[in-house]
Amino acid sequence: MVDLVGKRLDADACSIYLVEADLTRLTLSATNGLNRDAVGVVQLPVGEGLVGLAAKQRSPVVSDDAQNHPHYKYFPETGEERFASLVAAPLLMKGVTIGVLVIQTIERRGFEPFEVEIFQTCAQLLSPVVMNARLLSLVDESDEVIQRSSDELASHGIPVASVSEPRGERNVEFRGVGTSRGIAIGRVYRLENPLDLAELEYEPRGSADAEEADLVQALSMVRRDLDDNREELGDKYGPDFSAVFHTHIQILEDKGFVAKLRQSVRETGNACVALQQVLAAYRKTFGRIQDAYFQDRIMDIEDVGRRVMEQLLGDRHARPTMEAGSIVVSDNLLPSHFSRLDIDRVAAIVSEHGGPTSHGSIFARTLEIPAVTGVPGVSEALRPGELAIVDGGEGTIFLSPDERLVAEYERARERFEIAAEHLDAMREMPAETRDGLRISLTANCGLVSDLRLVEQHGAEGVGLFRTEMLAFAHRGFPEEEEQEQLYEKVATFMAPRPVTIRTLDLGGDKDMANLGLPSEDNPQLGCRSIRLSFRRPETFRAQLRAILRASAKGNVRLLLPMISSVDELHQAKEIISETQEEMRRSGTPFDPDIPIGIMIEVPSAALIADALAAECDFFSVGTNDLTQYTLAVDRGNEHIGHLFEPLHPAVLALIDTSVRAASRAGIPISICGEIASNPLAVPILVGLRIGELSSTPSAVPVVKEIVHALDSGDAAEDARAAREAATAREVRRIGAERLVEAGLLSHPDIGSWLEKIVRRELDA
């Protein structure tokens, strides 16, 4: 890394200092340019010297004359007296400094802000790599687990899932978190616990050497397999999916992991036991860290371990085949399940652990496989092969249900499937009110894989493509090339339908602690979104180039988030036109007429909407943030969740103001906040004359049915009444009454669901 970074940034020295476990000291851990003998020797307290200062303040330190800097500290061992200038950037993970990346030059020179920015980006990309490597090396080779005999380990193994014959009805109910909607009834298939090795009849070969050779072979096969998987998933679902396997590969390539395995196999003469021992040691170490990010890494390690085991067992281990329509129960919902299981035979997935935002859950939703996660005890209670019901919407599971329950859920499943089919069957039909007012219905997406749903549910385009997902997958700013591939894929897939790509909207609730920004007391009012892009102009320009290149491939619109003043819009437009000019000069194709629009999500933007409308091509109202900032209610704070009212008359007033300004300027206006998926809001938004509603893909057909049942005159009347209302409750009631009046409660597909929503309002 130091070789690569030093060379790319034209530095005379590049070094990495790592924070010690006590968090008070930094150790020089790698260098190209300083005296290599100083590696592992030179230590400095956090806060001391320029490197220590960068670690302490968690932001870069830049000095063209380091030796005269008040914080300079000299370490003779390093031979750094030759160097005049320095940049030091902290490696941050979840806001904690884990190290510092430093470049130094012999000649005295200044550093441009863009150079510092590039350097900071290097530090960000490095942080997770360093963190994973450090975690892997945390496992001490002398760990007692390694020393245990195989017999002892076997006695700690997880009991074999008994293959007892499924017996009669027992109606055992479990509740978890429903992470992917849908109902399934099928036979339980227990996915082997990855650490069940002790239970599998593994016959080691005659010698430790042969076992070691088998293990090494298995490791390289898995490495190849992972590359294939990564490529396959990337092609099928987009680069954001394949990013999941980066950590897996890093684990396999970790020298410590491999060395421990080889040592253990030489000691035990059994590759299977060696793997079990090493995995147990890693699990133990990682298990001590109570943090969701690190818990996720345990899953990655187990996933890698399982792959190696399967390779090792090869033909010796015949897996039971899974029948079609199976309900797969596993400890964790792992991404690799989706590349290894015969997905066409999976009716539903249930896992003991994991939450709705784990990669596995995202995969399940994308593939529309009903799934429930976080169901402790289900593995122990189940009997392989017994009948089970899974309701992925409610998060319920019944093991060996009785006939009555099965019949009830059969009906519910049929209703769900028929409703979904009916709704999707209208995918080609435009959304029009009874009297012919046309509303454009688009969808919000963030992953390439969402595009399948856009198609299936009949959205007319992508109303909001959130580009943060790629940043989350990387835990830092993604690279330009990767962004380009992603945006091009989306634009090409949707063409000629429109795709609105929004520039990075990080910060606030979309927190990324390793962006190298100082912590803020009020992040929602701080350096988030477009403000962050202005602070990182090179990152912003890279994203703009990627979006502009995609505009040559489809019908792309560019959306700027969090604009709160005309100055900000001017500043963004200036950077956009400079980027366009640069691309023109280099002959890179892009759409010169690409529409540039802004989010209306800060009250000030709505209040000066006329001035902003004169300067841009479209508005997109983000009611999530608009509600937060208008009502002063943090959108992510569950203690004040009841105050978060997107249908508050004050929010409606700002939407109305924006619609009128857009209409005066003759520019289109859409809504992409969650309000666009809310059935109670639809009549009012139609009445306010919003031309486009962009909602979650699965909500598109529901919104379409509501629009079909409305009359635009009635909707305008509702909007007027809503504007005069004093409370959000009154507004919701107006919406509820309209749904009843329009006859939507007797709708065969969505009637019973809408009735529940409406009753809640009218009975309140």
CB of 448: closest distance to Mg ion in angstroms?
A: 21
Residue whose structure tokens are 């091509």 = 617
Q: Does 352 bind ligand PEP (CB under 6 A)?
A: no
Q: Are 601 and 562 in contact (CB under 8 A)?
A: yes
What is the identity of the amino acid at 596? I
Q: Of ligand PEP, Mg ion, none, which one sits near residue 460, judging by CB under 5 to 8 A according to partner kind?
A: none
* Closer residue to ligand PEP (CB): 366 or 623: 623
| Burial class of residue 557 (count of CB atoms within 10 Å of its CB; 0-12, 13-18, 19+) | buried
φ, ψ dihedrals at 372, nearest 5°: -130, 130
Q: Does 466 bind ligand PEP (CB under 6 A)?
A: yes
Beta strands in 688-741 (DSSP E): 692-695
Catalytic position from the list 14, 648, 672, 708: 672
Residues 6+ apart with CB under 8 A from 591: 548, 551, 552, 556
Report how far residue 227's alpha carbon sits from residue 245's, in angstroms, rounded to the nearest whole number: 8
What is the identity of the amino acid at 307? R
H helices, E strands: number in the chain = 30, 23
Interface contacts to Mg ion, rule CB under 5 A: 601, 622, 625
Beta strands in 244-300 (DSSP E): none
Count CA within 13 A, CB hemisphere, residue 681: 24
Catalytic position from the list 359, 474, 648, 708: 359
Q: Does 450 bind ligand PEP (CB under 6 A)?
A: no
CB of 622: closest distance to ligand PEP in angstroms?
A: 3
Question: 386, 601, 656, 711: which one contacts ligand PEP (CB under 6 A)?
Answer: 601
Q: Of ligand PEP, Mg ion, none, which one sits near residue 672, judging by CB under 5 to 8 A according to partner kind?
A: ligand PEP
Q: Are 571 and 534 in contact (CB under 8 A)?
A: yes
CB of 568: closest distance to Mg ion in angstroms?
A: 15
Catalytic annotation on 359? yes
φ, ψ dihedrals at 370, nearest 5°: -55, 135
- Per CB under 6 A, contacts with ligand PEP among 638-677 are 672-673
C-alpha angle with apex 92: 88 to 97, nearest 5 degrees?
Answer: 80
- Per CB under 6 A, contacts with ligand PEP among 494-553 are 505
- Per CB under 6 A, contacts with ligand PEP among 602-641 are 622-625
* Helix (H), strand (E), coil (C) string for 289-329: CCCHHHHHHHHHHHHHHHHHHHHHHHHHCCCCCCCCCEEEE
* Closer residue to ligand PEP (CB): 673 or 687: 673
* Closer residue to ligand PEP (CB): 395 or 673: 673
* Closer residue to ligand PEP (CB): 212 or 505: 505
Q: Are 176 and 391 in contact (CB under 8 A)?
A: no
Q: Of Mg ion, ligand PEP, none, which one sits near residue 673, judging by CB under 5 to 8 A according to partner kind?
A: ligand PEP
CB of 292: closest distance to ligand PEP in angstroms?
A: 21
- Per CB under 6 A, contacts with ligand PEP among 7-26 are none
Total of chain residues touching ligand PEP, rule CB under 6 A: 10
* Closer residue to ligand PEP (CB): 374 or 673: 673
* Closer residue to ligand PEP (CB): 251 or 464: 464
CB of 624: closest distance to Mg ion in angstroms?
A: 5
Catalytic annotation on 122? no
| Burial class of residue 429 (count of CB atoms within 10 Å of its CB; 0-12, 13-18, 19+) | exposed
* Closer residue to ligand PEP (CB): 78 or 623: 623
CB of 650: closest distance to ligand PEP in angstroms?
A: 16
Q: Of Mg ion, ligand PEP, none, which one sits near residue 591, judging by CB under 5 to 8 A according to partner kind?
A: none
Task: Quote the tokens at residue 404.
Answer: 């009555």
Residue whose structure tokens are 């009785």 = 402
Question: Which helix (H) or strand (E) element contains residue 750?
Answer: none
Instruction: List the catalytic residues.
Output: 359, 672
Binding site for ligand PEP (CB under 6 A): 464, 466, 505, 601, 622-625, 672-673
